[in-house]
């Protein structure tokens, strides 16, 4: 059973960094568009009807006969984590997350530089992720199109930035670097990173 994704804030809550128009299009047309397409596809697949979203993504991953189901299911998950990765007010990197960042990247500035560089260097449409690996270290990875690290059970996605053009084109045209800078400097939801880690942010 796939639940309809929701937006965890109001469309104008991220201004001035992301406009109400961008959020309305991004959530209302793109994110819900993936959901509606998937629900339509599943009407012909009663065998998949009881799967939750993550199971469906993993089940369809890499299968030539399920490309459409994978793409739409993965985009639902990716966008939901993206909304949860955005804070409506600036947050300091809490000590729990800061310790992990320090162990993996040296310090917060190095993390921001590496994350921004990965986001700027991703060719075409895709996603930039902060994940925790099975050794407990954090890694920055990128995926193209709908690809998602949730297909890899050894990785725990903590944070994601959508760098498809639809995420920033209304506000910034082709200026992806500005969108990236706004994200890393003003919008990272560290509380949500701690929540996924199962820890209290302090
Ligand atoms: Fe998107």
Condensed to tens digits (0 to 9), the pLDDT of residues 156-168 reads: 999 999 999 999 9
> What domains, with CATH codes, occur in the chain?
20-84 (1.10.287.990), 95-197 (3.55.40.20)
CA 140 to ligand 1 center in whole angstroms:
19
CA 80 to ligand 1 center in whole angstroms:
10
Where b means 16+ CB within 10 Å and e means fewer, 25-61 reads: bbbeebbbebbebbeeebeeeeebeebebeebbbebb
CA 106 to ligand 1 center in whole angstroms:
30
**pTM, to two decimals:** 0.97
**Contact between residue 162 and residue 79 where contact means Cβ atoms under 8 Å apart:** yes
Q: Is the pLDDT confidence value at 200 over 70?
A: no
């Amino acid at each position: 059973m796939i639940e309809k994704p929701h937006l965890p804030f109001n469309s104008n809550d991220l201004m001035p960094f992301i406009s109400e128009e961008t959020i309305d299009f991004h959530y209302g047309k793109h994110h819900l568009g993936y959901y509606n397409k998937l629900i339509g596809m599943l009407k012909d697949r009663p065998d998949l009807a009881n799967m939750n979203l993550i199971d469906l993504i993993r089940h369809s991953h890499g299968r030539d006969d399920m490309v459409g189901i994978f793409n739409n299911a993965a985009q639902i998950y990716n966008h939901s984590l993206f909304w949860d990765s955005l804070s409506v007010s600036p947050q300091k990197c809490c000590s729990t997350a800061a310790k992990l960042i320090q162990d993996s990247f040296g310090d917060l500035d190095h993390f921001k530089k590496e994350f921004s560089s990965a986001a700027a260097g991703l060719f075409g449409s895709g996603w930039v992720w902060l994940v925790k690996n099975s050794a407990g270290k954090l890694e920055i990875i990128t995926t193209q199109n709908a690809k998602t690290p949730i297909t890899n059970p050894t990785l725990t996605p903590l944070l994601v930035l959508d760098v498809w053009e639809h995420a920033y084109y209304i506000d910034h045209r082709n200026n992806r670097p500005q969108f990236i800078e706004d994200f890393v400097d003003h919008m990272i939801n560290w509380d949500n990173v701690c929540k996924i880690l199962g820890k209290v942010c302090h």
